Chains A and B, each alone.
Chain A
Amino acid sequence: MGIRIEHLSYIYNEGTTFSKTALSDINLTIADGEFIGVIGHTGSGKSTLVQHLNGLNIPTSGKIYVDGKDIHKEKESLRSLKSKVGLVFQYPEHQLFESDVLKDVMFGPRNQGLSDSEAMMRAREALRLVGLDESVEKKSPFDLSGGQKRRAAIAGILAMEPSVLVLDEPTAGLDPKGRDEILDLTAELHEKKGISVILVSHSMEDVANYVSRIIVMDEGKILYDDTPEKVFVHVKELEAVGLAAPEMVYVMKALREEGFDVDYSADTVDLARREILGALAGKNRKC
């Protein structure tokens, strides 16, 4: 399911003293099955942007097309859009409200008009996908640990079976283990279910290992939109907007300055190790 954004601008509280331009002239195309990272400093407009994708924010100007159709033209398409584009908010566990986990996950499918038994099936499936087993189904969502709550909330969106999954800072406030688990989970979903995933984050490190395309935002504009390797070349510019490339990129850069022929694009420890070993073996040493 393709999404196309044309000249999108968004202003909060337009026409008042508190007006604030959050997005200006965004152009973007998202193809089927992509795995995209949206990165930017606090306040750069990431959340505002992704909330346009399922029609929650109405553009101040510009157009959004999903499957070639303008989503703000017909009311009906806006309704079904919420099922097509699943948006997991920042701190999604704050939206849990039901008396038990299963019922909470069933909330979305029920709103889609499914019967209780169908909704329950979907909910169970989604809970298994995020790695929550039967023992938590009857627990109150408020008795879960932080990481479990987050998973339950994500399951709440997955149960609606979206074809695009957008996660707004899914790792915020989690410990390193919880963070890796959530990120692995999204990668798994991308692979297993073949859905497009858009991952919002302010940490390159988080995203670099997983995504195949990075969109860097700064002050409401798109600064870079490219593969991770190509984006990380701009280390200086990234630092200027309050971001940092993954640490391995810095290591590679330092090695290169020392005369080793290693590649910038080695952004994970594994890749870096291979590069360094290769360079040491003399295969890559400059002649």
Chain B
Amino acid sequence: MLKDITLGQYYPGDSIIHRLDPRVKLLGTLVFLITLFVFGSPGAYVLASIALGVVISVSTVPFRYMVKGLRAIFLLMVITALFNLFLTPGTILFSFWRFRITEEGLRMAIHMIFRLSYLILGSSIMTLTTTPNQLTDGLETGLGFLKKIHVPVHEVSMMMSIALRFIPILMDETSKIMRAQEARGANFSEGGIIRRAKALVPLLVPLFISAFRRANDLAMAMEARGYHGGEGRTRMKPLSYHRKDMVAFAVMALYVLCQIGMKILKL
């Protein structure tokens, strides 16, 4: 159950995508998402599919693994598509009882399914190939210019990296406590909704306590090592652009140009 969440998880590997500078990947993802929403023609989707397909196959992350992430938002996708299908006004294609399906609605629904699934695939390819540390490093340096207007970029990215770091730890802890309580006869999977909610108390109380204990320990450990925020802090692995990053930027530019070209040619 908990294992099915792939968004935000790292899939170890050594492909060119894994080795790209995280800033390139962040920008690339952003560009991809923007083109998804700006360009909506069938041609644009073909182009986006090609780009996505190439990146996925180069990344060596099994496609099966990525699709698992889609499963989690399947319900959301269905609901969105249904809303679009039935509630968009326009030329009526088909109607029964109170429902009418319009041409525009059908088109919107298809759009939405594509957009949402590409959105998830596009962003999960980034998180799957970038370690949480690299990701937050990339965010921090990439958004460094915001410091000028007093956005606490360092603090936010530190919080993010800690939060990401704690997800697997807390999941482990959850399953450990669950088992310990099951050994005492607790039952998490049977009974009505109220019984199940009540059954969560023996799980949640120890979980919160352990989360606080860990947070406390971590804060202490950070202070003991002289952490005092971002000011004057240097990095063990400073980020720098290499040839492959430049190539990636060029590919990105080419992709955007192609999309614009398609739009102009009305493909």
Contacts and interface: CB of A to CB of B under 8 A. Distances in A.
Interface of A: 13, 17, 51, 54, 56, 82-83, 86-89, 92, 94-97, 107-108, 111-112, 142, 156-157, 160
Interface string B167-201: 00000000011011111111100000000000001
Interface residues of B, number: 20
The 8 lowest CB-CB distance pairs between A and B, nearest first, are: A111-B185, A97-B205, A95-B180, A108-B184, A87-B183, A89-B180, A97-B202, A56-B179
Contacts of A92: 180
A83 B176 contact: no
B184 A107 contact: yes
B61 to A, nearest CB: 10
A107 B182 CA distance: 11
Contact of A160 (B12, B177, B184): B184
Contacts of B209: 94, 142
Nearest to B177: A95
B49 interface: no
Given A88-B183, A94-B180, 16 more contacts: A51-B179, A54-B183, A82-B184, A82-B185, A87-B183, A89-B183, A92-B180, A94-B209, A95-B202, A107-B184, A107-B185, A111-B184, A111-B185, A111-B187, A112-B185, A156-B184
Given A51-B179, A89-B176, A89-B179, A157 B184 contact: yes
A165 to B, nearest CB: 12
A222 to B, nearest CB: 23
A160 B187 CA distance: 15
A111 B186 contact: yes
Contacts of B210: 94
A107 B181 CA distance: 9
The CB with the most chain A CB atoms within 10 A, among B177, B179, B185, B209, is that of: B185
A95 B12 contact: no
Interface in B129-185: 176-177, 179-185
Nearest to A110: B185
B188 to A, nearest CB: 12
B90 interface: no
A89 B184 CA distance: 10
8 contacts: A56-B182, A82-B185, A83-B185, A86-B183, A94-B180, A94-B206, A108-B185, A157-B183
A18 to B, nearest CB: 10
A92 B181 CA distance: 10
A126 to B, nearest CB: 12
A19 to B, nearest CB: 12
Nearest to A107: B184
Contact of A95 (B185, B187, B201, B206): B206
B182 A82 contact: yes
A54 B186 CA distance: 13
The CB with the most chain A CB atoms within 10 A, among B183, B186, B202, is that of: B183
Contacts of B184: 82, 95, 107-108, 111, 156-157, 160
Given A17-B12, A94-B177, A94-B210, A82 B183 contact: yes
A96 B206 contact: yes
A13 B186 CA distance: 24
A110 to B, nearest CB: 8
Nearest to B173: A94
Contacts of B12: 17
Contacts of B177: 94-95
A160 B206 contact: no
Contacts of A108: 184-185
Contacts of B186: 107, 111
A97 B187 CA distance: 15
Contacts of A54: 183
Contacts of B182: 56, 82
Contact of B201 (A56, A86, A97, A142): A97
A89 to B, nearest CB: 4
Contacts of A142: 209
B11 to A, nearest CB: 8
